Structure 1
């Protein structure tokens, strides 16, 4: 792994450097400039709040091509009944706060530090980050957020307080933007997203798509 200099915004070329299990660098800082630079090169931060900052570019990469989205019959019924009200970019801060605090099955704690949340809130105010809010009876019960980098949406995290809330928000977002994004970056494998059509592609293929319109 390469140690980053806090005074210089740079990363190893992810095509030339594989790192350890997808980790290509550590250290640096969580400035808006560094995070935005990282995502433009297919690199994202992922670390525990009490640990050193780790920067990843895994190979293979877990992604969803919007036209390959899979919607089960049961989920389609939920969407057709309009069980949830779904909005975009209406409450980014509450979404990212819930992503950092709402518990997940099989997970202890959160990887979202306050510094990282603050950086993404700034990116939202710059028009670079986006959120999806899922409402039930005027209560925020689910959502997700991420960064738009060219024609790629880099999904960061999602939360759900009631069954199917985050899944409904994700499906709604992908369907509403099927012509806006060539790829949804899911970063690392989850069964939840695999059931929706996400799959692995090579790091090289991912970076080629990412860089097409930058």
Structure 2
């Protein structure tokens, strides 16, 4: 006698994949609209229409417009929507396990360039919105100060684990140097105001960090 098919084991992964696909579409629509209309000019109804879902679906997934902006920024910064902390992703982990500090810095400079290039257009929008919206200002402050500073402290520790830092520099000072030299503002000045191509910025960052951090 044929055995009944257990549909739950098949339908649950399928439902989860469909939910992830819906989430990706909503985030993609949100990023497109945020860039085209700005944060204030983007409505959840417009995002829902762009993603071909209901407004209720957007609320269910993200809770609010600020929650959607947070998710969009996380996706842009990470390069995808994988639920993996930034420093636990493959490229940062390659840097962590590298034992040559100069090679670590080269890997870091290459990786952070890609991240800065991805976030530049969205961060310009975020900066403008933060000037008039307290919630967005708080989000940008958290992203660029608390989260980025914390990440740079971790990276500085990885480098210090393989080499004494210049002049017995404490890790906190090295983190401040990393945080400052990789700021979106400085990246914008070199890439836009000075017209540097990406490879020149990467080369400058690598050599400046080597000179500033290593003996």
TM-score normalised over the length of structure 2: 0.27
Higher relative contact order (CA 8 A, sep 6+): 1
More helix by share: 2
More strand by share: 1
